[in-house]
Chain A
Amino acid sequence: MSVLVDKNTRLIVQGFTGKEGTFHATQALAYGTNVVGGVTPGKGGALHLEKPVFNTVADAVKDTGANATVIFVPPPFAADAILEAASANIALIVCITEGIPALDMAKVWATIKNGPSRLIGPNCPGVISPGKCKIGIMPAHIHKEGRVGVISRSGTLTYEAVGQLTALGIGQSTCIGIGGDPIIGTNHTDALKLLLADPDTDAIIMIGEIGGDAEEAAAKYYAESGSTKPIVGFIAGQTAPEGRRMGHAGAIISGSSGKASDKMAAMEAAKITVCKTPAELGASMQSRMREAGLLN
């Protein structure tokens, strides 16, 4: 098993015929993801990558039975794309787009948060259950099927952790890139809940960064859950100056909230092994799993 995506995932691509959509849909197909079609308004009826193109998400769902969508639509139109997907009641919406205005996302989130769709992102690398299904922009070949879940706000830092795990022969159940924006659909706690409840996930890597207090909340949830699944964590931005935006719109320390040191302390208090540098993520996970008898 795994969470969010697997062999039963039927994926459509919004922004299917664009450059990004085409490239990553091709990669997903090569990985074995069941891409059942895509949406580009005005190009309905055509075939692209040998899959049907639809004018609307509603049409695509009706015709293909899609239960997941990935959004590669430029920032000015991405909020609309998320709302369109949600209005078609798609179970999983993965929004890769970076640069959506925060107030657009505030409106989108208020509209869809109590609905049936789960949103991953925006501004995220996507979700992969290695060996089963890949949705997003992560390089496929660094992954290996296995039993460690990965949660991260950052794309390349996720790859860093995954690369280290795979090099040590430790596979992954599902890797969830939750996104670097201030408003995201699935936060650390939501992703953690899924992986803690997954019988095929033995241990979890949780990577955060400065800004907000989502990592603190997830650490608190873990402590209160009573779960014995080992968690290894890392917080990026320990040396970031205050008040500056470090690439991700969400990574800004304002006042006393959002500091790396606060997050690390909260995670340690919850018995999460906190790495000082990302170079130790794989080895730390290996030793935690050995201690727990999950690895020889």
Chain B
Amino acid sequence: MDFISILSIFVMACFVGYYVVWSVTPALHTPLMAVTNAISSVIIVGALIASAAEGSVWSKWLGLLAVVLASVNIFGGFAVTQRMLAMYKKKERPVAK
């Protein structure tokens, strides 16, 4: 991919992000932060490439450390989001009314 195609994806994604995030209900802003945190750890892709490659020992170990950090975030981020979202309940109709 050349630079301009990548830039196009980026700019379009910014617009998508803008509209999608405005549609998020304020009640879910904390889960939003937790899940964006989890998905921004897609940076693990770069970490995996670094740790999978041959050629530089330093690069490999930096990559592996990054894999650990990003994994904490991925698993922790999605798990904590799931935990929070499971707590949001609608009114259970009536026990005593």
A and B associate in one complex: no
